[in-house]
Amino acid sequence: MFKKMAIVALSAGVLLSGINVSVGFDSAEAKKPEWAGNQHQKVKNVIYMIPDGYNAAYATNYRWYKGEDSSFDPYVKGLMKTHSANTEVTDSAAAGTAMATGVKTNNGMVGVTPDGEEVDSILDAAEDAKKSTGLVATSTITHATPAVFGASVASRGDEATIAPQYFENGVDVILGGGRSFFLPTSEGGKQPEGNLVEEAKKDGYQYVTNSSELSKVKGNKILGLFADGAMAPELERSNTNQPSLAEMTDAAINALKQDKDGFFLMVEGSQIDWAGHAHDAAWAMTDTQAFDEAVAAAIEFAKKDGNTLVVVAGDHETGGMSVGSNGVYDLKIELLHDVTATGDFMAKQLNSDRSNVKEVVKKYTGLDLTEEEINRIKESSKVVIAINEVISDRALVGWTSTAHTGTDLPIYAYGPQSDRFVGLHDNIDIPMIIAEAMKLKLNN
């Protein structure tokens, strides 16, 4: 009897002092959500990091590839739904719009509702609160994901219209590829409205074009355009003078933190998605590594600062990646460490009759191809994907699609109010949670 009474008393004590459990009374304390412990901590800065195309399968493969947890693995909080307004499988424009504005839209649309009405982003809300803002990406900086934070257009392909909107909306730090969209057509660029680079310099932006110049920047407004189109994949970055994603993240933080009112920064690992489209497992892992290092830099700053919230969430999954393939209960992802070029690069090294397939693949992967594998590449109408699938099959990484898939995605968060992201969310919830944490007005 005494044991039973003790158990009942202990159980009641646990219920009343711990997790929010309904026990038949209307106490405000009992209604607090799981993140109540840090919901009132100050959030001055937010670093919103988006690994494009990334889901739990990428996370698992990358953990095996790295040999340990990623910098953000310990901070996983919940899951996120990804569907767009008009389909179960989203593209980056619709997903990004939801993640930036809290509004669902149709695939292909940037910063507008399905009927074309412009909507404010979390970056706009930060600007309204007098905070500094920044965008960083390894794609063209006018690509869909960065665009949704600083622009509104009916079609994601209208990158020349997106570029000037960044300056109109007051974005302070702009780092990535896409130089051609800022230069006038008279100089071989794609910008019909004039030379945006020269206009930016007159407005106080420091303009940089390589990693060395970026490392010397001291001001709080930067325009860094490191390629005419997209930046190089991480596998090939050592052959360029382009900064890494971590270096761009560090530079952006150092510029934006000068604002006493705080800042909002979005950082995209753009090319994880492109690797998924191409079924290029090595490219996917190395660009994930670059993103991992960027997140590590952000978390390091957040730990020192104490008032910075870091949020990490992909926008959709790409390629239907699996951990293990072909019915084999194993993974041999370690062989990807020997791959030194993308499948696209290797395909460009093939001669007209593809008679050098064996030599090219051996040079850049260390693999000795079988006759069956050689013929598979030789005879394929999609040689890049054929090369990548041969390598993926060797690593036992599987693929189900060359497009996006509609799976839920993990959400990670570190810093004050990070527990707000616990649970299952829709992608439109994320900017609303950030706005509430930063005490910003986002009324879409």
For residue 22, pLDDT over 90 is answered with no
Start-end of H helices in 38-182: 56-66, 92-101, 122-128, 144-150, 159-168
At 175, which amino acid appears? L
Report helix, strand and coil shares of the chain as percent, to nearest 5.
45, 15, 40
What is the rounded CA–CA span in Å between residue 244 and residue 222?
16
Angle value at C-alpha 260, between 255 and 264, nearest 5 degrees: 60
Task: Provide CB contacts within 8 A for 217, sequence distance 6+.
Answer: 206, 208, 251, 254, 255
Using pLDDT thresholds of 50, 70 and 90, give the confidence band for residue 219: very high
Q: What is the CATH number of domain 45-319+402-438?
A: 3.40.720.10
What is the rounded CA–CA span in Å between residue 38 and residue 31?
15
For residue 328, pLDDT over 60 is answered with yes
Question: Which one, of 395, 291, 378, lies nearest residue 339 by Cα?
Answer: 395
Task: Please compute the mean of the pLDDT values over residues 61-74 and round it to a whole number.
Answer: 98
What is the rounded CA–CA span in Å between residue 22 and residue 24?
6
Helix, coil or strand: residue 241: coil
Strands 404-405 and 173-177: unpaired
Sign of the torsion formed by the C-alpha atoms of 215, 220, 225 and 230: positive
The rounded mean pLDDT for the chain is: 92
For residue 192, pLDDT over 70 is answered with yes
**b/e per residue, 191-227, with b = 16+ CB within 10 A?**
beeeebbeebeeeebbbbbebebbeebeebbbbbbbb
The torsion region of residue 62 among left (phi > 0), alpha (psi -120 to 50) and beta comes to: alpha
Say yes or no: domain 322-398 is CATH 1.10.60.40.
yes
What is the rounded CA–CA span in Å between residue 341 and residue 234?
9
Start-end of H helices in 35-75: 56-66
Q: Delimit the CATH 1.10.60.40 region(s) of the chain.
A: 322-398
Q: Delimit the CATH 3.40.720.10 region(s) of the chain.
A: 45-319+402-438
Instruction: Kindly report the pTM of this predicted structure.
Output: 0.91
Contact (CB, 8 A) for 397 and 321: yes
User: 19 or 305: whose pLDDT is higher?
Assistant: 305
pLDDT at 5: 39
- Angstrom CA distances, 315 to 186, 321, 407, stand at 36, 15, 10
Q: Which residue has the tokens 């020997």?
A: 338
pLDDT at 39: 64
For residue 9, pLDDT over 70 is answered with no
- State which H helix or E strand residue 225 sits in: strand 222-225
Catalytic machinery residues: 92
